[in-house]
Chains A and B, each alone.
Chain A
Amino acid sequence: MAAMRHARLLCALVVCGCVGAESSSANNSGGTLAISTGGDPDVLIPSLVQSVVGAQITDMIYDRLADIGDSLNILSDKGFVPRLSDHWTWSADSLSIAFHINPNAKWHDGLPVRSTDVQFTVASTKDTLLGSPATSLITNIDSVSAPDSLTAVYWFHARSPQQFYDAVYQLPIMPEHVWKSIPPAGWRASDAAKNPVGSSQYRFVRWIPRVAVELAADTVNYRGAPKLSRLIWSIAPDFPTALTRLLSGETDLLEQLRPGDVPEVAKHPELRTKQNHALQYSFTQFNLRDPVNHARPHPIFGNRQLRRALTMATDRVALVRSVYDSLALPALGPTVRAYSTTDPNLPQIPFDLPRARQILDSLGWRLTTSDSVRSRNGRPLEFTLSVPNSSKIRIQFAVLLQEQFRQAGVKVDVEQLDYPVFLEKERKRAFDAAIGQWSTQPSPGAVRGSWGTAGSRAASGNNFGSYENPVFDATVDSAVSSFDPAARKALLTKAYETIIQDAPAIWLAEPIQTVGYHSRLQLTTLRADAWWAHIPEWSIPADKRIPRDKAPPSASPSTPPALPAGQKTP
C-alpha cells in the first residue's frame, strides 16, 4: 500500500517537474484550498445565484456594503462588519441610511467602486425582468440615491428592525460599468456572467464546466490580501467520488459529511472534522388539503387530532439517532437553534405510543382483529410518504417512520421520486405527506413564506402543506416588526408553540454541519449561514505546504480582464 502511495506521489512529482521551478513562499500567505463539490454553480451573478456552490463562489468574488457578524444578529446594525462601506450614518427618522464607500475599494478590473454601482445593484435587483430571487426580500427598500461618488443613500418605505440587514445582506454590490449595457434578460447568458468582475478578496480565474472553478487572491485588495493564494472548487456530481477525492488527498475540504462518512474520515490521520450549527431543518410535512380537490380538507390530515396522534407515535429522538448518529439534533419546530430568538426548550408533543393509539381509537380509526391497519367506515388509515430519491437521509427517515407508524396501526407507502418530480408534486400540492428540508436565512421571518397563510394561498407559494393559522401569522408578523429583542423572542416562541401544537408536520432533525478537511488547513469560525464566510482568513503554514500549494500566483493563466473600451484605470 505504502509503495502504491509512493508511486503515485512520484508520478505527481514527475509531472510537477514539467512545471519548472516552483517558488516557495516563506511568508504566511500562500497555499491552495481545493474544495470537493457536487456540481457546477448555477450562475456567478450574485443577484441571481440559487445554488450553494454558486453562493460560495460569488461571496468570495463580490463584497457587500457590510457583512453580518458571526452572531447573525439582524436587528439594527449591531454586529455588522464594514466591507465596501467603511462607515454608515442613519437619518434621524431611520427611514434612510447613508453608506460611505471605502475610497480604496476597486473592482478587479481596476476601476474604483462608486455609489452609482450600489444604486445600479439595487435598481437591477428590483427589476422583475431580471428575475432575481432577492427581489421579494428587498421590498422595503424604496430606492437608492447617490449624492456623491462615495455616498449611497438607501431610502426605505418604513422603519423596520431588520432594514439594515435587508439593505446589506441580500445584495452583494455589482459593477455598473460591466452590466449596464446588457439587458436584464440576457445577464445569465452574457460573457460577463462567465467572467465575473467583483471587488472582494478573490478574483475570478476560470470556470471549466463540470470540472472546476478557480479563484486567485486579489493581492491589491482594499481589505488586504487573503491568506490563501488560490481557491478551487473541484466538481464531481457523484457524492462517493467527491468524498473519495477528499480521502485520497486530491482535495482539501468536503463541506457536508454524511454520518457514515465520519468514521472513514477518522481513519485518515491527515484529515480533521469540524462541526457547526447550520440553518437547516427537516420535517415530515402533512398535506392539509385533499391532493385531488384542494377545496376540501385532506381526508386524513385535515384533522388536527390525528396529526397530533401521528406525531405522538413518532420517536423523533430515536429516529434522529438512527439516521444521523450524533450529527443532528431533533428539530424544535420551523426554526433552528442558531437563531438567538429560538428557545431551545420549546415544548414539544411528546412521544407516547399508547396515547397515540387512544387518540386514533377515539377518532374512529380502529383496528379490527383480522387486520394490522386501522380503518374507519371501511377506509384504511394509509397514506403515501414522498421522498426525493437523491437523499439517502430522507429515504432512511421514510423507512423508519413507516415502521413506527406501523406500530400505531397506520400503513405508509414510501414513494421515492426523482427530485424534479418530487418538487413538482409539492408545488401542485399533489401529495399526502412528504419529507422536506428548508435551508433558512438569518432572519426568522422567512418562516412566513414556508408556513404562513400567504405561502399557502399563493398559486405557487412554498407552504406546500397548506397549513393556515391566523394566530401563527399574526404572532410572527408582530415578532418580525418588534424592535425589542426580548419581545421578539417571546412572540416567536409563542408562534412556534402554536404551530408545534397544530402539528402540520413532524419536526425531524436539525443537522449539524460536519466539514471534513485536511489538517494542514488552519480554519477559523464556520458561520452558521455560510461556513465559507471566513475563508479569506484561513491559512496553510509554510512548513506544511504540499506541491499544489506552491503553484506560483504569477503563473496564473488569467490576468485581470481588460478594461472596457474607452475606460482607463484612474
Chain B
Amino acid sequence: MLRYIAQRLAQAAVIVAIVATITFALIHLAPGDPFSAVMDNPNVSETVRQTLRAQYGLDRPLPEQFVRYVSLLAHGELGWSFSHERPVREVLGSALPNTLVLMGVALVGSFVFGILIALFQVSRRGSVTDHVLSGLSLFFFSMPDFWLATLALLTFAYWLPIFPVGGAVDPVMHEYWGLGGRIVDRLYHLALPALTLMLLASAVVARYQRAALLDVLPADYIRTARLKGLTEPEILRRHALRNALLPIITLVGLSFPALLTGAFFVEKIFAWPGMGYAVVLAIGTRDYPLVVGGVIIGSIMVTLGSLLSDVLYALADPRLRSR
C-alpha cells in the first residue's frame, strides 16, 4: 500500500508540474498586463511604466521569467503577488482555510444529504415521490453553479432576508463582538454559500447513490436478508448501503475538482474570501504569480483528492487491498 501511495504521489508531482508550466505559459501569453490600471491612467508616463515592469522583472524574456519562477518554487516560494503586494504564499495562506472550510462543509453535507435522499428514494422506488426527487436532482445537477449562487443570494439575502449578503464575516461588527458572537457570525455567513455548493453536489451524490443501491438490491444476500425477516429500512441501511458505498468513494475524489471549480464562482458571487475569489480577481488583474500559485495549490488538492479516494476504495474493498 505504501509503495502504491508513493507511486501515486510521484505521478501527482509530475501532473502538478505540467499544469503549473502550462498555466505559466498561458497566463503570460494572454494579452494584457498586470499594470492595466496604470496603463489606463493618462498621467502615467512611459518611464513610470518601464520602472514598474522592471521592478517586477516583467521586462525580462519569458524563458528567463520561467527559470526564475522555477527557482523560487524550488525554494518553497510561490512568488510575489502584484495586486496584493504580498508573497503569494501569504495571500493563498490566508485564503485557503476559508476555501477548505467552505468545501469541507459542502462536501460532508452533500454526501450526507445525497445519501439520505437516495435511501429515501429507493425505499419508495417507482413512486411519485421517487420520480419527483429524481427530477429535482437532475434539475440541480444540470444547473450552472454561478446561476444557482446568484439565485440563492437574491432569494435568501434580498427577497427573504434570512442570510447576509456575502462575505465570511460582518465587516462592520465582527471585530467588536465576543468569541460567541464571532462564531455565530461566521456560521451565519457560511450557511448560504455552503448550502449552494451542497445542493449542487448532493444532487450528483443522490443520483449515483440511488443507482448504486438499485444495482445491489437484486443481489442474493439482500434476498437472504429479506428471508431472515429483516425490515426494508434495516436491509437498506445494514446490507444494501454498505455494499453500494464503493462508487460513492470514487465520487469523493471526483467531487474535489468539481467543488473547487464551483467554489471559484460561488466565492466570487458571495464575496467569500477564499482561494477561488483570489484567483478569479488575479486573472482579471493579470497577477501572474497569484494565478499560477492558485493553480498549483488547486491541482495539488485535486490530485490529493483523487489519491484519497483510491486509498479509501482500497481500504473499503478487501479484494483491491490484497492486490
Which residues of A are at the interface with B, using a C-beta cutoff of 8 A? 1, 4-5, 7-8, 11, 14-20, 32, 34, 39-40, 42-43, 50-51, 128-129, 131-137, 185, 188-189, 193-194, 206, 208-212, 214, 232, 234-238, 240-241, 244-245, 247-248, 250, 418-421, 423-425, 427, 438, 446, 449-450, 455, 458-460, 462, 547-548, 551, 555, 557
Whether A128 contacts B158 in the complex (CB less than 8 A), given A209-B91, A210-B273, comes out as no
Chain A residue numbers with a CB within 8 Å of B32 are 418-421, 423-424
Mask for B39-61, Cβ within 8 A of A = 1, else 0?
11111111111011001000000
Contact A131 B178 (CB under 8 A): no
Contact B42 A446 (CB under 8 A): yes
B144 on interface, CB distance cutoff 8 Å: no
Contact B165 A129 (CB under 8 A): no
Whether A20 contacts B85 in the complex (CB less than 8 A), given A15-B185, A136-B45, A449-B42, comes out as no
A133→B51 CA distance, assembly (Å): 12
**A245: contacting residue among B42, B44, B49, B165, CB under 8 A:** B165
B30 on interface, CB distance cutoff 8 Å: yes
Contact A241 B171 (CB under 8 A): no
B253 on interface, CB distance cutoff 8 Å: no
Contact A423 B185 (CB under 8 A): no
Mask for B147-170, Cβ within 8 A of A = 1, else 0?
000100110011111101111111
Contact B268 A238 (CB under 8 A): yes
A239→B268 CA distance, assembly (Å): 11
Contact B157 A238 (CB under 8 A): no
B112 on interface, CB distance cutoff 8 Å: no
Whether A244 contacts B154 in the complex (CB less than 8 A), given A210-B278, A455-B42, comes out as yes
A548→B273 CA distance, assembly (Å): 22
Contact B43 A238 (CB under 8 A): no
Contact A19 B165 (CB under 8 A): no
A40→B160 CA distance, assembly (Å): 29
Chain B residue numbers with a CB within 8 Å of A39 are 281
Chain B residue numbers with a CB within 8 Å of A458 are 46
A418→B175 CA distance, assembly (Å): 37
- Sampled A-B contacts (17; CB under 8 Å): A15-B188, A18-B177, A50-B38, A136-B43, A136-B44, A136-B45, A194-B85, A209-B273, A214-B171, A236-B166, A240-B150, A250-B164, A418-B32, A419-B32, A419-B36, A423-B32, A460-B46
A1→B158 CA distance, assembly (Å): 10
Contact B178 A241 (CB under 8 A): no
B80 on interface, CB distance cutoff 8 Å: yes
Chain B residue numbers with a CB within 8 Å of A20 are 178
Chain B residue numbers with a CB within 8 Å of A19 are 173, 176-178, 181
Whether A248 contacts B39 in the complex (CB less than 8 A), given A131-B55, A234-B172, comes out as no
- Closest approach, in angstroms, between the C-beta of A232 and any C-beta of chain B? 5
Contact B161 A5 (CB under 8 A): yes
B6 on interface, CB distance cutoff 8 Å: no
Mask for B17-49, Cβ within 8 A of A = 1, else 0?
000000000000011110011111111111111
Chain A residue numbers with a CB within 8 Å of B86 are 189
Chain A residue numbers with a CB within 8 Å of B285 are 420
B254 on interface, CB distance cutoff 8 Å: no
Contact A241 B181 (CB under 8 A): no
4 new A-B contacts, CB < 8 A, other than A133-B44, A208-B273, are: A18-B182, A50-B37, A51-B37, A421-B32
B180 on interface, CB distance cutoff 8 Å: yes
Interface size class of B (residues with CB under 8 A): 35 or more
B284 on interface, CB distance cutoff 8 Å: yes
Chain B residue numbers with a CB within 8 Å of A7 are 162
B132 on interface, CB distance cutoff 8 Å: no
**A185: contacting residue among B55, B158, B166, B176, CB under 8 A:** B55
A220→B21 CA distance, assembly (Å): 54
**A244: contacting residue among B43, B45, B157, B162, CB under 8 A:** B157
- Closest approach, in angstroms, between the C-beta of B100 and any C-beta of chain A? 16
- Closest approach, in angstroms, between the C-beta of B160 and any C-beta of chain A? 5
Closest B residue by C-beta to A9? B161
**B167: contacting residue among A8, A234, A423, CB under 8 A:** A234
Whether A459 contacts B55 in the complex (CB less than 8 A), given A18-B181, A238-B271, A241-B153, comes out as no
**A424: contacting residue among B33, B150, B269, CB under 8 A:** B33
Contact A248 B46 (CB under 8 A): no
Contact B30 A237 (CB under 8 A): no
**Quick one: which of B95, B172, B180 has the most chain A CB within 10 A?**
B172
Whether A128 contacts B31 in the complex (CB less than 8 A), given A8-B161, A185-B55, A238-B269, comes out as no
Chain B residue numbers with a CB within 8 Å of A449 are 42-43
Chain A residue numbers with a CB within 8 Å of B51 are 128-129, 131
Contact B31 A419 (CB under 8 A): no
Contact A211 B42 (CB under 8 A): no
Whether A43 contacts B85 in the complex (CB less than 8 A), given A50-B38, A136-B43, A237-B277, comes out as yes
B131 on interface, CB distance cutoff 8 Å: no
Whether A420 contacts B31 in the complex (CB less than 8 A), given A5-B161, A551-B176, comes out as yes
**B84: contacting residue among A209, A214, A450, CB under 8 A:** A209
A129→B55 CA distance, assembly (Å): 9
Closest A residue by C-beta to B55? A185
A263→B271 CA distance, assembly (Å): 25
Whether A557 contacts B175 in the complex (CB less than 8 A), given A128-B48, A449-B42, A462-B42, comes out as yes
